[in-house]
Structure 1
Amino acid sequence: MKKILFVLMAACFVWAAYDYTRPVDRYVVKVTAADGDTLWHLVGGVMSQEGDRRDVREVIHYAREISNIKGTLQPGDVILIPIEVRR
């Protein structure tokens, strides 16, 4: 039983090391807010469409910074969403 557990753990470590070394495509998606849109909805939708698997809260934080959004989202605001996708 210990040998099986050891083999499984080793396989997990090898997979994690492989996943960490894969190249990452980084780019920005530009979205314009409409009436009733929220950052959570816009960022989450773009992330899911593009295949970004990071935490949506992290990406919302960076989107607020690079888009210079201080308060609530207004219709017509341009949001820049940083995307990271592993190949």
Structure 2
Amino acid sequence: MWFSAMQLVGGIILSVGWIPQIMQILRTRSVADLSLKSYLLMLLGIGLMEVYAIHLSLSGVGLAFLITNSLSLSVVSVVVVLMLRFRSR
């Protein structure tokens, strides 16, 4: 129980940590200093972990991991979409 709670709290903190970056992109409409390759690799890694989290969840364990990983996948996806939208042409 404690480990699931720590997973939820830690995962939420990690996911919420992306919100300042999203707000900065929206405010400045600039992604010039961000590396698209890095964010795409991060998105790929989180996506692969999502498959594992779904597997764990279907096995009856790892629901906290699925929730927090899905949140991270969503937030990093938003960053990548914003990077594609606001990159200089």
Bin for the TM-score computed over the shorter chain: under 0.3
Q: Larger C-alpha radius of gyration, 1 or 2?
A: 1
TM-score w.r.t. the length of structure 1 is 0.27
With structure 2 as the length reference, what TM-score do the two structures score?
A: 0.27
Task: Flag the structure with higher strand content.
Answer: 1
Which of the pair is proportionally richer in helix?
2
